[in-house]
Amino acid sequence: MDNLLNDIAQGNDAVANLSEALMQAKTHNLELLGLMNELTLNLEQVAASKAARLRIIQTVGITLAIINFLFIMLHFLRQLRDSDFILEKARKETTEILQTVNEGLFLVDKNMRIGEQHSTKLVEVLGTSDIAGQSFQLLLENMISEKDTETARGFIELLFDKKVKEKLIGSLNLLNLIEANIAQANGGFLTKYLQFSFARAYQNTLMPPERKISHVLVTVADVTEKVRLEKALAESRKHNESQIEMITSLLPTHPSLLQEFISNSHACYNRINNILRKPAKNNSLVQQKATEIFREIHNFKGEAASLKLEYFEAQAHSIEDTLTELRSKSDLGGNDYLGLTVQLDALISYTQQVEQLTQKLALFGHSASAVTQPLSSKGERSIVGHRQQDGWSHLPDFVQSIAQRNGKLVRLVTSGLSEIELLPEYGQKVKEICIQLLRNAVTHGIEAPSDRELSEKPMVGRIDFRIAKVTDAEMEIMVMDDGAGLDYSVIREKAILSRRWHEDEIDGWSNKNLLALIFHEGFSTAKEVTKDSGRGVGMDAVMNHILEHRGKISVSSRRGRHCRFVITLPIITGEQVAT
């Protein structure tokens, strides 16, 4: 059979061989079917065996894959656990840092939004707990001015610009030290001094040249105590310097004269206070207050100048400036004196400091007991006596100081200053008259050395100052200078310029009428206002003292040769007051 099939396959007598093969197939059909059945069973067994083997292989592969997956998962979970541990550790460390740092720390993004994390101290510094996610600009607007907030916003925008070097814009930080007003729950505000600093924060995933600026790290510190301490230190330093300057200015003044000046100063302040308290129902009375205070301050300035107490003299001159402005106002009211009271308070405070300082330095202890003149048998204390405490020994220095300030050379000749005992209060007023007359002689009388030389006079001018007892009840004060004398043409011109009198009226005045103008309040022949002249109040104050005590004054002058003032006043003692 096999041979027939081979011949058919090879094409050898295919028809005959095929017919024979069919015959044999029919003859062996059952045998062939059996063999085919056996072949089929064998093939099924082989296929089943291979399928079982394949299932085993698949099972093993799946098992190995599951084992590998579990291994990878376990490894991943272990790494995740390690990462979580590291992150938790880092979070704890960050939290500890944020809780313990003494400054406020937070991040700000490009949209000026505050990050979710910030230091615990930030709540205390800014006085609010609602910080995370808020607008930094809005937060600033609630504490500082809108203009400063806008400037700060521009600065942060520069920090997000990679083209701008961070170090170069550090000086533009307006919030380096700023005063902030923190709103309180009770509706008030707490003033703090805050110090902000800014630094760029980069993404770490990129190399430095390509790194992106992700945030700006903001550090804020409350430096209120530091600022206050610095201010206190500066004030203390300033106070110490003031104390040293005060001591230096007081050293040339004898303790007894300084004590007398302080006492007179307090009396002057009380008189000014009484003037301010007086009711004024109309504008004229309000104006009169300024005039009366002007006289008091001018006398005060004269005494301070005579003792070379420059601070008091300068402050008094400043108050005179204020009074001049007040007197020029047509609608002067009580509220206009508020600025003046502030200046007076400062002057009073300084006087009290001087008084306390001199007491600490024991200037009025052993020194006062050694030089103070005892009471007389009549219960009086003289303003004259020994050179150191007679109240007049400082006048030569006073005259020289004014002369030097005005570029003049002067010699003061005195007599009779230690012969008359007066009631202290009255003696102070006499001294004020004399100081003003001496000041007037130097500033208005004595010429400059070059002018004296042209007039064939000695370059050093001479002022004679004398006090003499005329009778038991009267004394005479004489102040005479060898200067230019009164220039009536200048007086007339000044009177016209003042517009206080009609020009036709002034043209008809005699020299006697013109002479009276120098005692008129607010009238001065000085070309400009200085510490020593130009106010037009000095001679007015002299005349008021004279009229108050029913005295007399006479003036004689010769143009280019001299000017002499002679004042007659009563001698007032403690016994006369008691009577």
Q: How far apart are CA 157 and CA 200, in angstroms?
A: 11
DSSP run (H or E) holding 235? helix 224-250
Cα-only R_g, the chain: 54
∠ Cα 147 148 153 (to 5°): 100
The single-letter DSSP state of residue 172 is G
104-222 in CATH: which number? 3.30.450.20
pLDDT of residue 480: 94
pLDDT tier at 385 (50, 70, 90 boundaries)?
very low
pLDDT of residue 381: 38
Q: How far apart are CA 287 and CA 293, in angstroms?
A: 10
Q: How far apart are CA 276 and CA 328, in angstroms?
A: 18
Cα 554 to its chain centre, rounded Å, is: 54
pLDDT tier at 411 (50, 70, 90 boundaries)?
very high
Q: Which residues contact 73 (CB under 8 A, 6 or more apart)?
A: none
pLDDT tier at 565 (50, 70, 90 boundaries)?
very high
- Determine the residue type at 322: T
pLDDT of residue 418: 75
Coil, strand or helix at 161: coil
Q: Which residues contact 314 (CB under 8 A, 6 or more apart)?
A: 531
Q: What percent of the chain shows pLDDT beyond 70?
A: 86
Coil, strand or helix at 519: helix
Quick check: 200 and 214 in contact, CB under 8 A?
no
Coil, strand or helix at 44: helix
Pick the CATH number of 395-578 from 3.40.640.10, 3.40.50.2300, 3.30.565.10, 3.90.1150.10: 3.30.565.10
pLDDT of residue 575: 57
DSSP 172-211: G-GGGSEEEEEE-TTS-EEEEEEEEEEEEEE-TTS-GGG-
- 489-512: b (≥16 Cβ within 10 Å) or e: eebbebbeeeeeeeeeebeebeee
pLDDT of residue 479: 93
Coil, strand or helix at 341: helix
Half-sphere exposure of 37 (CA within 13 A, CB side): 6
- The label of the residue with tokens 């129902």 reads 281
- The label of the residue with tokens 């105590």 reads 225
- Tokens at residue 150, please? 């806008």
Beta-strand runs (E) in 82-188: 104-108, 114-118, 178-183
> For residue 148, what are the β-bridge partners?
none
Q: Which residues contact 331 (CB under 8 A, 6 or more apart)?
A: 283
In this structure, the dihedral spanned by the alpha carbons of residues 61, 63, 66 and 72, taken in order and rounded to 10 degrees, is -80
Q: How far apart are CA 445 and CA 422, in angstroms?
A: 29
Residues, the chain, total?
Answer: 579
Q: How far apart are CA 80 and CA 74, in angstroms?
A: 10
Q: Is the pLDDT assigned to residue 292 strictly greater than 90?
A: no
- Tokens at residue 56, please? 């085993």
> What are the domain boundaries of the chain?
1-98, 104-222, 253-371, 395-578
Quick check: 106 and 122 in contact, CB under 8 A?
yes
For residue range 426-479, what is the model confidence (pLDDT) as tens digits?
A: 888 888 889 889 988 998 889 999 999 998 899 999 999 999 998 988 999 999
pTM: 0.51
pLDDT of residue 574: 65
pLDDT of residue 391: 66
> For residue 222, what are the β-bridge partners?
194
Beta-strand runs (E) in 456-572: 461-469, 474-481, 552-558, 562-570
In this structure, the dihedral spanned by the alpha carbons of residues 419, 421, 424 and 430, taken in order and rounded to 10 degrees, is -50
Q: How far apart are CA 158 and CA 171, in angstroms?
A: 12
User: Among the residues of 101-212, which ranges form H helices?
Assistant: 120-126, 136-141, 146-159
Range of lowest pLDDT (168-172, 277-281, 514-518) = 168-172
Coil, strand or helix at 466: strand
Coil, strand or helix at 564: strand
Q: What CATH topology corresponds to 253-371?
A: Four Helix Bundle (Hemerythrin (Met), subunit A) (1.20.120)
For residue range 71-95, what is the model confidence (pLDDT) as tens digits?
A: 888 888 888 888 878 877 777 777 7
Q: Which residues contact 475 (CB under 8 A, 6 or more apart)?
A: 420, 467, 468, 469, 568, 569, 570, 571
Quick check: 538 and 518 in contact, CB under 8 A?
no
- Tokens at residue 560, please? 């280019």
Q: Is the pLDDT assigned to residue 535 strictly greater than 50?
A: yes
Quick check: 201 and 218 in contact, CB under 8 A?
no
